[in-house]
Amino acid sequence: MPSERREFYHASNGDSWHLCRDPNHVAVVVHEPNEASGGQRSVIELSTFLSSNNQGPEHQALRALIATLVFP
């Protein structure tokens, strides 16, 4: 499990997404679904998460966070 993490989206159903650094300092996204969905955490490579076909609110939230870091 990545040790450094920042939540960037929390859905109304309890799911949450975090921008993290894995032990090798690679940026990844950790999705923590609510217990009703099974609660099985997943780690997704940042480039995969941000691919152009991913347009959900969690993807938009991460893009907005990145924009604030690049263009404060």
Q: What is the mean pLDDT of residues 16-20?
A: 96
Side-chain-side CA neighbours of 39 within 13 Å: the count stands at 2
Q: Which residue has the higher pLDDT, 57 or 69?
A: 57
The residues, any chain, with a CB within 8 Å of residue 64's CB and separated by 6 or more, are: none
Q: How far is CA 39 from CA 15, 31, 57, 67, in A?
A: 9, 9, 19, 30
The arithmetic mean of pLDDT across residues 46-63, rounded, is 92
Closest-CA residue to 62 (of 25, 26, 16, 22): 16
- Of the candidates 53, 63, 52, 67, the one whose C-alpha atom is nearest the C-alpha of residue 29 is 63
